[in-house]
Amino acid sequence: MLSGFVSAQCNELFISEYVEGSRNNKALEIYNPTDKPVDLSQYRVTRWQNGSAAWTAQMSDALSGTLQPKDVVVLVLDRRDTTKIGQDTPVVLSLRLKADLFLSKDYNTSFSMSFNGDDAMSLDKLNTTTSKFVPVDIFGKIGERPSPAWSDKAPYTGTGTWYTLDKTLIRKDSVMSGVTKNPLEFNPTKEWELNPRDQFDSLGYHKCLCEKTASTKLIQKHKVVLFPNPTQNANNGIVTAITDFVPVAMICKNMQGADVALHYSINSSSMMVQTQIATAELAAGVYTLEFISASGERVSTRLIK
């Protein structure tokens, strides 16, 4: 039997992105909409495999660390062994670089991140009074197994466009709290935006209306999102960086820390500033891009080519 509690808007963590990609490319992004740092050791993620409604330790993984206000933590299936010795197909580099926490490393003891489109997922929090975990956000419907995925037409269990299989889903910015009670039906179109399989660019940053409710004393950390990333020579090798501030400079360094010259231009005509970066002549590799604000804050991200 599942129990839950109602969390007020912007007062509790929730799942902000769901990645069900090719092979083992699986990820969840958790967003902190509150004005305070949150101790992640009080939380776990649970996979409700194939319509099961019975919790088992093998299907759950504890989180760790501290999640800052209006920030996210990216959870990725731990398949990092690129030699394929002792593990099956590894997660691709572009997704591994997005990870803050790797989960489910030992396939024999942990399955929480091995979801495949027909598994409900939940973010659970420890109730210190009862010493039991209760869901603060539920993705899908616990106890229901769609065939082969939840979809956009009633009864949402496979009819129409599949949403939870081979897709990346981003929580709509109007969503300010999680689903704390198991729904009668799971219609993913209500709260989720559909994106193609293996889209990882948006991981690491979530836009939410909770930002407008933040305390005036809260200092917001600027963020940057790149796309496409990894980049390709298509579209003349142009990569777009989205920032919520106007950069006064951008610095590119390779993995050895040496400066790399890149041509770029800044367009600040919209609410989210766009920086166009020319990468066609850039050698293959991983680079760090550092954007500098007028106040001197430095915001970094990784570019893969």
Supply the range of the domain harboring residue 240: 222-304
Domain boundary among 212, 236, 259: 212
pLDDT in tens, 152-193: 999 999 999 999 999 999 999 999 999 999 999 999 999 999
Regarding whether 188 and 243 lie in a shared domain, the answer is no
Q: Using an 8 Å Cβ cutoff, are 77 and 91 in contact?
A: yes
Whether residue 2 is predicted with pLDDT greater than 70 in this model: the reply is no
Q: Is this model's pTM higher than 0.85 or not?
A: no
Cα distance between the two ends of the chain: 48
Regarding whether 205 and 245 lie in a shared domain, the answer is no
Distance CA 119, CA 139 (A): 9
Whether residue 15 is predicted with pLDDT greater than 80 in this model: the reply is yes
Order of strands across the sheet that contains 101-103: 101-103, 72-77, 26-31, 14-20, 167-171, 192-195
In degrees to the nearest 10, what's the CA dihedral of 155, 158, 163, 165? 150
Domain boundary among 166, 186, 212: 212
Regarding whether 291 and 165 lie in a shared domain, the answer is no
The residues facing 289 across adjacent strands are: 252, 301
Whether residue 12 is predicted with pLDDT greater than 90 in this model: the reply is yes
Whether residue 52 is predicted with pLDDT greater than 70 in this model: the reply is yes
The three-class DSSP label of residue 93 is helix
Q: Which two tokens stand for residue 111?
A: 């399955």
Distance CA 124, CA 191 (A): 19
CB within 8 Å of 2: residues ≥ 6 apart: 53, 135, 142, 181, 182
Structural domain tally of the chain? 2
Residue of 39, 13, 43, 45 whose CA lies nearest to 26:
45
